[in-house]
Amino acid sequence: AQSVSQHNHHVILSEAASLELGCNYSYGGTVNLFWYVQYPGQHLQLLLKYFSGDPLVKGIKGFEAEFIKSKFSFNLRKPSVQWSDTAEYFCAVNAFGNEKLTFGTGTRLTIIP
């Protein structure tokens, strides 16, 4: 069975700091990988996704993630965060041929102005 681990439960940063949120998955086969974001009071939105090709994927709002197959990781990064990035971030995996998304427990990100 596939599973996803997000080790950081709550991250607090000051504006302009760099961000890296960890995501590891357990599944030996081909996967699709996603980061979703949930801003306060809003619904889940796709931040970025990896299906194949270049392992460094760029998403909206300056976010990027790198798929490292050997480490089963898909960490999310942003070089300089803004107050508006305050949200909950979910990593998700979808095994090839499997329909459901398996989510990590989420990381709450708080940006201090």
> Shortest gap between Cβ of 90 and other proteins (angstroms)?
7
Nearer to other proteins, 26 or 82 (CB): 26
> Shortest gap between Cβ of 46 and other proteins (angstroms)?
6
Instruction: Work out the burial of residue 83: count CB atoms within 10 Å of its CB; fewer than 13 is exposed, 13-18 middle, 19 or more buried.
Output: exposed
* 106: nearest Cα among 85, 89, 94: 89
> Shortest gap between Cβ of 112 and other proteins (angstroms)?
25
Nearer to other proteins, 17 or 88 (CB): 88
**Distance in angstroms (rounded) separating the CA atoms of residues 30 and 38:** 26
Nearer to other proteins, 46 or 112 (CB): 46
* 78: nearest Cα among 10, 15, 5, 24: 15
* Binding residues vs other proteins (CB under 8 A): 32, 34, 36, 42-46, 49, 51-52, 90, 92, 94, 96-97, 99-106
Nearer to other proteins, 17 or 103 (CB): 103
> Shortest gap between Cβ of 36 and other proteins (angstroms)?
8
**Distance in angstroms (rounded) separating the CA atoms of residues 76 and 48:** 9
The residues facing 86 across adjacent strands are none
